[in-house]
Structure formats: structure tokens, C-alpha cells
Amino acid sequence: MTDSETYTALCDKIDQSLMVEDLMTMISIPSMNPFQQEVRKGYREEEMAEFYCDRMSDLGLEVGSREVVPGRPNVWGVLKGRSNGRSLMLSGHLDTVGDENYPDAFVPRIKNNRVFGRGACDMKDGLASYLEVVRVIRDEDIELKGDLILTGIADEEDQMIGSKDFGKRGPWADYGIIGEPSDMKVCSAHKGQVGYLVRSLGKAVHSSRPEDGVNAIEGMMHIIEALKALQQKLMSRDAHALCGHGRCGPSVIRGGTIVSTVPDYCELEIDRRTLPGETREDVYAELNSLISTVVQSHPQFRFEIEGPTIDVLPLDVPTDNPVLNSVLGVIRSITGNSAEASAFPGGTDAPHFGFPTVIFGAGTLQQAHSMNEYVEVGDMMVATRVYLCAVLDLLYRT
């Protein structure tokens, strides 16, 4: 048989019912990100991690686990190859966003060939697909040359402490794929995100005599105007081939106490989307310069800057990297459609791992955080075929 015929025969072994069953079980295990609140059952990854470890162990993987913080572990399973060939990681995050205003978020259901529930496409479907890839390889006695590693990562939806820990402590691989909901597009790049808190400091007085005080909110208005100018400056710079231009803007503002008092403080959280090649140091210097310019024009105001409050690296996988070209080639072979690399709209764990990692998965970001989250089972099947064939292409054929 040719490689193509072998891959097709193995893809026919994918069991949709088993994969959907795993997905529905995972949806029923609440693993919401606590977002800086108390870590507790339902608002942690611990229970989800235990299930995933059990399933990986059932499939014969060498399983490991490491708590990043209490109740929030990273987990992994390794299918050992027969030699010291290159290795591939299939990675996904264990956490989801919350269930506010989402009735029965953790009651999985199937309708019109869609699986509904929190985490359906973001991204427990990817985790279920990975388990099915390993099951097929195991049941068909496929001996890989290099290691295949499955990982479940904590805290992707917030500070990404899980992938940052993975990048420092491993296990590591030569290549990676993350099954985030990419609308079935292969994404080799995305912007980073750096957040900073700017505080405007004024002087509180009775609001009947505002001339005796310094209104911190008015001071922050000048910062907001300066951010508009910065955004225009970012749009005038050279664009990244896939990611376009950097972005900057105000996201959260807080200030004042009561209406009868001139506010002596105002806080602004700034969201800065960075391009590959830009760093947190670049962002900090840029914001410091912006604040200095405001102070020169309005010396009555004082400002402080804290952060970064969030720090997600940008991603930029080279166009000649084997994992990118493997996934693109597999998609063209399976679907018969052209496929080109694109940019993922949001941030991911990928750049923190420290090795080339691309994003490809079923579902869309529009569905991911919605109050009616679902994944198309047909897309999930195609994604699983792509993962399986990429594993074979990178770890079996060469």
C-alpha cells in the first residue's frame, strides 16, 4: 500500500461514537477558569485533569502530572516511539470560560449532528480527538519512530500559567499542534497581548469647588486621547504578513467615589496587541513615552504604570517548518481543497512552549465563549483525520 492508502485505511478506523462519548463526558466535568478568584471545585482543572489522565492511562500512555498551583495541574501522556526520532505534541487546555447566563452549560447534548455544552469547541473536542488518534494507533499496532505526546494545560483562558510552566519544565517536543477552534484553518501566527494598568492621581475636594482640586478622571481623558494617537501610529507601521497591524486601546476604567467629590484617582487597563518581534519591553517603553508626553502638556496630573497584568507572546512559525507544511499538506490531501497558512485571531498557549506549534481545530471563536457553544461532529471528524495523518507524516513515514 502507498502512504496515502495506508493513511486512508487508518482514518477509516476512527470511531465517531467513542470520540463523541469522550467529549460529552468532558463537557459534564466543570473546569471553569477561576479568573483570579478562589480556586474550588468547578473552578479549577483538577477533576478534568484526573479524567484525562485516566483515559490516557487506559490507552497505554506513560502519564505525568504537575500542579502549577494547587488544584490546577498540567497533565501529559507519552506514546513512546521506537527510536530517538523527532517528537510531536498534541496539546489542549483543560479550562473553560464561565457559565454565567448559560443554563445547563455542563449538560452535554447532541442535536443536528452538533455537540452542545461549555467547552464543546473550546476546546474539549480537541482533547477527545487526540485520545481517538492514540486509540487508532494503538489498536492498529502502528509503531512510531518518535514520541507522540498528549497534553492538557491549565489556565489558557486567563494568564496562561500552565503553558508558561510547560515551556520552562517540559516535557518538550520538536513540534506541536493545538486544536483550538480555528474554523478549520491552519494558523501559524497570532498577535501577542500585553496589558498594563495606568493610574491617574489627582486631589480630592468638594465638587462645588473643583478649581481647588485635581480631577484624576480628566487626567485619564488625556491618556485615552494619547492612546488614540498611538493606535493611528501603529496602523502606519509596516504590517505583519499574516497578523496585520498591532492594536492598542482602553479596556477597563475605574475612578472616583461619590458624585460630590472631585476624584483623586482613576485607573485604566490598557490592552496592547503585539506583532511578532515586539516585546513587553517595547510596549512598556512606548507607554512610558506616551505618559511623559501627557505630563509635559498637563503637569498638574501625576500617573503611575503597573504591569504587565497580562503577558501573552505572539506566534510566528516559519513558512518552511515541517509541522506547518505537514498539516497543510494533510488538509489538501484529505479535503482536496487548497490550504494556506493564516493568523489566529486570539492568543494561545503555542508560543510559550518554546518549539514550533501551529493551531488547527474544529469550531469557531464566535461559538467558543457563547451561551450556546457547540461543535459540528463532521468538522470534529475531519480534524481528527488531520491530526492522525499529521502524526503519521511526522513520526511514522519519515
pLDDT of residue 7: 83
- pLDDT digits 0-9 by tens, 69-84: 999 999 999 999 988 7
Place of cell 494617537: 229
For 164, phi then psi, to 5°, come to -65, -40
Q: How big is the chain, counted in residues? A: 398
In this prediction, residue 398 carries a pLDDT of: 56
Q: Return all residues near 319 (Cβ < 8 A) that are at least 6 apart.
A: 188, 341
User: What digits encode the pLDDT tens for the residues 209-241?
Assistant: 999 999 999 999 999 999 999 999 999 999 999
Please answer whether residues 268 and 224 qualify as being in contact, where contact means their C-beta atoms are separated by less than 8 angstroms: yes
C-alpha cell at 322: 515541517
State the pLDDT at residue 372: 96
- The string of DSSP letters for 296-344 reads HH-TT-EEEEEEEEEEE--EE--TT-HHHHHHHHHHHHHH-S----EEE
Q: Which of 308, 113, 80, 56 is nearest to 192 (CA)?
A: 308
Whole-angstrom Cα distance, residue 306 to residue 37?
20
Q: How far apart are CA 52 and CA 297, in angstroms?
A: 57
Distance CA 269, CA 195 (A): 7
Coil, helix or strand at residue 360: coil
Strands 187-190 and 342-344 come out as: parallel
Count H helices, E strands: the chain? 10, 16
What does the alpha-carbon distance between residue 335 and residue 386 come to, in Å, rounded to a whole number?
A: 10
pLDDT per position as a tens digit, 338-382? 899 999 999 999 999 999 999 999 999 999 999 999 999 999 999
Cα–Cα distance, 224 to 230 (Å, whole number): 10
Q: Which residues of the chain have pLDDT under 50?
A: 1
CA 63/CA 151 separation, integer angstroms: 10
- Name the residue with cell 450556546: 372
Other beta carbons within 10 Å of 39: 15
Report pLDDT for 5: 78
The three-class DSSP label of residue 144 is coil
User: What pLDDT was estimated at residue 1?
Assistant: 43
Q: Which residues contact 76 (CB under 8 A, 6 or more apart)?
A: 56, 63, 64, 65, 149, 150, 151, 152, 171
Comparing CA positions, the residue from 391, 358, 369 lying closest to residue 185 is 358
pLDDT at 6: 79
**Confidence (pTM):** 0.94
Instruction: List CB contacts of 370: < 8 A, sequence separation 6 or more.
Output: none
Alpha carbon 284 to chain centroid, angstroms: 23
Provide the CA 17 distance to its chain's centre, in angstroms. 27
Residue 170: name the closest of 64, 84, 39 by CA: 64
Domains and CATH numbers, the chain: 3-190+314-397 (3.40.630.10), 193-312 (3.30.70.360)
Residue type, 133: V
